[in-house]
Amino acid sequence: MLRFIVRRLLLLVPILLGLSILVFVFIRALPGSPAESLLGERATPEAIAQVREQYGLDDPIYIQYAKYLETTVAEFDLGVSIVSRRDVTAELKERFPATVELALAAMLFSVGLGIPLGFFAAKRYGGIVDHTSLVASLIGISIPIFFLALVLKYVFAVRLGWFPSVGRIDVLIDLEPRTNFYVIDAIIARDWTALRDVLEHLVLPAVALGSIPLAIVARITRAAVLDVQNEDYVRTARAKGLSPRIVDSRHVLRNALLPVSTIIGLQTGLLLSGAVLTETVFARPGMGTWLTDAIFNRDYPVLQAGILFLSIVFVLVNLVVDISYAIINPRIRYSS
């Protein structure tokens, strides 16, 4: 197991190196330049030349990449934002917790409903519950996230007033951001009013973002349970007289969770990097809106740091999923 983890972590090095090269080249191939975005109406040829010289944009691209590797790898410095003039690491620490909270809430919603829904649909194969779950999951996959987010915002925030529509916390609540994870900060401060408000701000974005993973998890769980419950070891367990509850929990659901855990890992990584539309609709200051603004402003340091950081998180999440295989099913072992 240890050697497997070490090998996966070592493979992370060439993956990130190749990704950094692609990102570095592609974002510089975009039309326009940071100098023009930064100067705006003041973008005279002389001012553009001065800004390009200041940030080293006139150097050959391989020299720019060498300087980028030197500051990032050797000095552990992600650079300074061209637009805000702030340290990228500081902005990352502020933005990433908001996206993590949203992604985890969305996955909690999708897994908490998707696995039971898929399981009960498989156990009642061909019945009304099964057909209803199939139709609901098809609708969930088909509805665009931004459209569902707007509908939820209009119905539950504007019309009914049950939940807030924008931001992470009410502007009238004074919560000290110790970790920038507002849920954790509220618990640390024992401010239960702030905690409730933070959770209320999470409900609508989490439901909107978790709609597609919910549909996928439900369908995969249904298919996995249908496949597992016809295996020989399940029939043997039933023939021994074990109660249906024990058979379902120990033999059916546990083995059916293997493909489901893979989907959960992939969806978690995608949610962390794909919450752009949801964060935009609900005006949440997370990684999605941060990178979107960086794209429009050609903010190279922010784009490079944000994409590489999300790539590391995505790989680490899938590493955790691989390790969880051996926990879910002890028959699986990793070769040394």
Q: Are residues 156 and 302 in the same domain?
A: yes
Last residue of some domain: 43, 74, 105?
74
Residues 194, 279 within the same domain? yes
Distance in angstroms (rounded) separating the CA atoms of residues 168 and 171:
9
Which of 287, 278, 282, 272 is closest to 91 using CA atoms? 287
Classify residue 113: in a domain, yes or no.
yes
Per-residue model confidence as pLDDT tens digits over 298-332: 777 888 788 888 777 777 777 777 777 666 665 55
Same structural domain, 182 and 321: yes
pLDDT at 336: 47
Average pLDDT over residues 262-269: 76
Are residues 37 and 163 both part of a single domain? Answer: no
Per residue in 140-166, pLDDT (tens digit) is: 778 888 888 888 888 998 888 888 888
If asked whether residues 33 and 123 sit together in one domain, one would say no
Q: Do 101 and 67 share a structural domain?
A: no
Could you tell me if residue 286 is inside a domain? yes
**Does some domain include residue 88?**
no
Give the residue numbers spanning the domain of 137: 97-328
pLDDT in tens, 21-54: 887 777 777 666 666 666 666 666 777 677 677 6
Mark whether 28 and 141 lie in a shared domain.
no
Specify if 81 maps to a domain.
no
Residues 50, 126: one domain?
A: no
Asked if residue 113 and residue 66 are part of one domain, the reply reads: no
Count of domains observed in the chain: 2
The pTM score is: 0.77
The reported pLDDT for the residue numbered 31 is 67
Residue 55 has pLDDT above 80, yes or no: no
pLDDT tens track for 114-140: 888 888 888 777 778 778 877 887 787
Same domain, yes or no: 69 and 107: no
* Domain assignment of residue 122, yes or no: yes
Instruction: Determine, yes or no, domain membership for 83.
Output: no
Domain match, 6 and 150 both:
no
| CATH number of the domain encompassing residue 298 | 1.10.3720.10
Last residue of some domain: 13, 40, 74? 74
Q: Is 105 part of any domain?
A: yes
Beta-ladder partners of 80: 87
Is the same domain home to 135 and 67? Answer: no
Does 23 reside within a domain? yes
